[in-house]
Amino acid sequence: MSTTVRPPDRLSGGAAPVDEDHYRLAVEEARAQAEALRHSVCRANDLVRQLEELVESLRAILLYPKAYDWPPVESEAEPSEGTPQAETVVEVTELDQPAKGPA
């Protein structure tokens, strides 16, 4: 004499609305967690791509070290406008030194 347990009929009244509210909240929470997980996976993929680019750059430096010598050798080229010249640095240090001679 076993009895079969059936889920409550959704059309009948009773405790179904509470269960549906609980179900809806659980679904919303699961969706929010899935969205957060998706963002985390996207960020992890971006980091992996950046690491792969870094590895490729380091590999190129190791394979061709002469191409990446630092500081670069400038052969009689005009220095760029953004780089300070040695004369400018000397002038600044000369201004900072105390004056020699009678005061």
Q: Is the pLDDT of residue 3 over 90?
A: no
10 alpha carbon, distance to own chain's centre:
48
DSSP 8-state assignment for residue 1: -
Has residue 98 been placed in a domain? no
Has residue 79 been placed in a domain? no
Looking at this protein, which amino acid is placed at residue 17?
P
pLDDT tens sequence across 34-87: 999 999 999 999 999 999 999 999 998 888 877 767 666 666 555 556 555 554
Has residue 42 been placed in a domain? yes
Has residue 7 been placed in a domain? no
Has residue 57 been placed in a domain? yes
Q: How many domains does the chain have?
A: 1
DSSP 8-state assignment for residue 81: T
What are 75's two structure tokens? 């052969």
What confidence score (pLDDT) does residue 67 get? Answer: 73
What confidence score (pLDDT) does residue 58 get? Answer: 92
| Cβ contact 44:50 at 8 Å | no
Rounded mean pLDDT of 14-33? 86
Helix (H) or strand (E) run with residue 49 in it:
helix 16-63
What confidence score (pLDDT) does residue 63 get? Answer: 86
Has residue 25 been placed in a domain? yes
Has residue 83 been placed in a domain? no
Q: Is the pLDDT of residue 93 over 80?
A: no
Whole domain around residue 39: which residue ranges? 15-72
